[in-house]
Copies of this chain bind each other. A is one copy, B any other.
Amino acid sequence: MNVQVFATRGERTRAHIVSVAAGLFWRRNFHGVAVDEVASAAEVNKATIYRYFADKRDLALAVVKQHGAATLEMVFQSSAEHNAAPEARLAGIYYHIYSVHAELCEEEGDVHGCPIVGLALELGQDMPEVRVEAARIFDAVEAHMREIAADAIASGHAAGDPKMLGRTLTQLLHGAFTSARLSSEPERILDAGYASLSLIGFPETDILDPKAN
């Protein structure tokens, strides 16, 4: 896992703003957060934000890009590196996501779903770049899922077309976020995880059991 190091002070400030904004947008939506709040949460002046971003929407785009990259890095790549078996990789992904959401839900009583999708849905209409960027990120997710599917098929656990299976796994992931958020039940993420494992030929596993991990 690469950790990006920022040479200049400006780059650090910019990245800091993006990451603070990501947290706020995730928790309270794009329209629910004022630029003033981002500024004070990031402990910078509002004008500093506008030094690095053309406007508020541009900040959201940066959030999608940076957060998307970081998440792909953290969740998918690392799970691919550490776990050879496809079922373990899939479980790693779901377990990671579940943990984050369960923890935050405990603290705040709400499930916030996928921040990238959240921003894309809220801004997609008047800022297509955000939607396109989100689509690009989930294309990458789907590629990961496709590899998992291909491995499972190759090892004889699953059958069918890896392309379609990868897509279904991805859609199920989307559904996991949405359904957990609507119901405020993070466990629904685990449900989707088990269903996904089943789809690649591993039903009846308890690999995702929170108590076991």
Please tell me how many copies of the chain the complex holds.
4
Would you call B175 and A191 a contact (CB within 8 A)? no
Task: Determine the chain B residues whose CB is within 8 A of the CB of A113 once the complex forms.
Answer: 121
Would you call B179 and A121 a contact (CB within 8 A)? no
Would you call A195 and B168 a contact (CB within 8 A)? yes
Would you call A31 and B122 a contact (CB within 8 A)? yes
- The answer to whether the Cβ of A134 comes within 8 Å of any Cβ in the partner chain is yes
Task: Determine the chain B residues whose CB is within 8 A of the CB of A174 once the complex forms.
Answer: 174-175, 178-179
Task: Determine the chain B residues whose CB is within 8 A of the CB of A125 once the complex forms.
Answer: 27-29, 32, 110
Task: Please count how many residues in chain A sit with their CB below 8 Å of the partner chain's CB atoms.
Answer: 44
**A170-B164 in contact given A122-B31, A135-B183, A182-B135 (Cβ < 8 Å):** no
Task: Determine the chain B residues whose CB is within 8 A of the CB of A179 once the complex forms.
Answer: 138, 167, 170-171, 174
Would you call B181 and A171 a contact (CB within 8 A)? no
**A to B CB contacts below 8 Å, 5 in the list:** A113-B121, A118-B121, A168-B192, A171-B178, A171-B191
